[in-house]
Amino acid sequence: CHPGGAVSDAVPLDTDALAKLGTLNAVLGHHAHARPAAIALSFQGRETSYSAFAGQVSALSALLSVEGVGRGQRVGYLGKNSDRYFVLLYALASLGAVLVPLNWRLAREEWQFLLDDAGVVRLYADDEFIGCARDLAAAQGLDAPTSIPEPVFADRLICPVEIGPDDVVVQIYSSGTTGRPKGVMLTHRNLLALRAPGYAAGHAWFPREKDCSLLLLPVAHIAGTAYALFGLYGGGRIVIEREFDAGVALERMERHRVTHMLLAP
């Protein structure tokens, strides 16, 4: 439960400035400038500041551009939660490309349907699923998948891509409907909707820059991906766990003094 209309006692964000930003990448750039040393992502002992996060996104987008990833292309990810997933999401978004996260609990035939339906042209996977991903890629005629590339800072120049609020960022597949899953195309505007008015109203359940959100839900579900993006909008810390484990969750709450968390009963 959340505390209704209670007002957070955290230091107020510059909600006016945030409200004028129409893309996830613009919001990340704002925080990288406003709070460069603040931690954005915590994962398995690796902590990434907002400045470093923005730099990794820039480096990875340059690499992906050189490799031919461009506007409108669908890029798949098969794996559990990680900080690299969010670097990939923002890097693709900066190119106008679209991330398609695959639910790691599905069967091979279900993965194949999603890849076909989305028209995925490239596939990445975490180490646990790289073998499955290689079999899938071979069957789909895709290049051999790899782990998400490590962002390497180099003097690469790429032609700037103009992205806007109505560009699609992620294509997440539905569940709980009859028949085949449907690919839900979510734009920057969709993912930023209701953020500015909620923060302007001071709702305590909207995480702010001094807050810490714990991500336990899978990123292949909108609850996992969008909840992390919610915390990043507020400029706070996101502690990422690969998957839900009750004991680990309790330990993380204590260690990181978690203030916000979303779970399904």
pLDDT (0 to 100) of residue 231: 95
Residue 58 CB partners (closer than 8 Å, separation 6+) = 91, 94
DSSP, collapsed to helix, strand or coil, labels residue 102 as strand
Per the CB < 8 A criterion, the answer to whether 40 and 31 are in contact is yes
**How far apart are alpha carbons 246 and 218 in whole angstroms?**
15
**How far apart are alpha carbons 113 and 1 in whole angstroms?**
37
Task: For the chain, list the strands marked E by DSSP.
Answer: 39-43, 46-49, 74-78, 98-102, 120-125, 168-173, 183-187, 212-215, 237-240, 260-261
Question: Measured in Å, how far apart are the chain's first and last C-alpha atoms?
Answer: 11
pLDDT tens readout for residues 61-70: 999 998 999 9
Region at 202 (left for phi over 0; alpha for psi -120 to 50; beta for the rest):
left
pLDDT (0 to 100) of residue 199: 84
**One-letter amino acid for residue 37 of the chain:** A
Cα–Cα nearest to 92, from 168, 193, 172? 168
Residue 196 CB partners (closer than 8 Å, separation 6+) = 15, 18, 19
Per-residue pLDDT of the chain (265 residues; tens, 9 = 90+): 333 333 333 334 788 898 899 999 999 999 999 999 999 999 999 999 999 999 999 999 999 998 999 999 999 999 999 999 999 999 999 999 999 999 999 999 999 999 999 999 999 999 999 999 999 999 999 998 999 988 776 555 566 689 999 999 999 999 867 889 999 999 999 999 988 888 888 888 899 999 999 999 999 999 999 999 999 999 999 999 999 999 999 999 999 999 999 998 8
pLDDT (0 to 100) of residue 194: 86
Cα–Cα nearest to 229, from 93, 122, 133, 130? 93
Q: Supply the pTM of this predicted model.
A: 0.92
- DSSP character string of 44-83: TTEEEEHHHHHHHHHHHHHHHHHTT--TT-EEEEES---H
pLDDT tens readout for residues 201-241: 888 889 999 999 999 999 999 999 999 999 999 999 999 99
CA atoms within 13 A on the CB side of 116: 10
**How far apart are alpha carbons 86 and 228 in whole angstroms?**
9
**How far apart are alpha carbons 13 and 159 in whole angstroms?**
32
DSSP state of 208: -
pLDDT (0 to 100) of residue 151: 74
Structure token digits, residue 2 = 């959340």
